[in-house]
Chains A and B, each alone.
Chain A
Amino acid sequence: AQKVTQAQTEISVVEKEDVTLDCVYETRDTTYYLFWYKQPPSGELVFLIRRNSFDEQNEISGRYSWNFQKSTSSFNFTITASQVVDSAVYFCALSEGRNNNDMRFGAGTRLTVKP
């Protein structure tokens, strides 16, 4: 069965600090997709990134970067020079197979960035 673990329940940093959100997953499939979503206080989940199981290249998008390591079943998310607007709950999710149904989410990490 697929499973996603986000061990960090809450993280608090001061603005401009770098912060890494951890995600560990379990799956028996060789084809799967990993995602990160941001959930601001408004409640709407915002898509950040999708990564497939065959592409272990790290990705950088502005202040955001993602480190995918199949050897440790991890897909960690780093925010560089954090800003107050980054405060939200961040979810890591896993979708097995080729369809995007039955996406499994972790419990989320609440990030608070203080000015």
Chain B
Amino acid sequence: ETGVTQSPTHLIKTRGQQVTLRCSSQSGHNTVSWYQQALGQGPQFIFQYYREEENGRGNFPPRFSGLQFPNYSSELNVNALELDDSALYLCASSPGVQASSYEQYFGPGTRLTVT
């Protein structure tokens, strides 16, 4: 069984640019959540996608957007990059949205550096 994979592993962008991060969910998982983890801090919830629809969003501006595809893989897009966007971006997948039944499985993350 293939776990959650993310690409790229590392990325360096310039302030003002746009970036797309990708996540392949674990087989059989229809739910994907994205988190931002700044250095030395815990992950912060960005948003979740369930069966291709956004299912909850954290306190992030609209320049953070996402997509989920029919195969349940997902993209995180960030426009107009700012220096504070430098972080580890984690993707997590689960077989469903019920917290009582489904834990989240995390990928290794994409390290984004904005200069």
Chain A interface residues (CB < 8 Å from chain B): 4, 33, 35, 37, 42-47, 50, 52, 91, 93, 95, 97-108
Which 8 A-B pairs give the minimum distances between C-beta atoms? A105-B42, A101-B56, A45-B106, A100-B99, A101-B48, A33-B99, A44-B108, A99-B97
A4 to B55 alpha-carbon distance, docked (Å): 22
With A47-B105, A99-B56, A101-B56 as given contacts, are A106 and B99 in contact (CB-CB < 8 Å)? no
Cβ A47 vs Cβ B104 within 8 A: yes
Task: Count how many pairs of residues, one from A and one from B, have CB atoms less than 8 Å apart in the complex.
Answer: 75
Report how many residues on chain B are interfacial, defined by Cβ distance under 8 Å.
30
0 or 1 for each of B2-41: is its CB under 8 Å from A? (1 = yes): 0000000000000000000000000000010101000011
**CB-CB under 8 A for A95 and B92, given A101-B48, A101-B56:** no
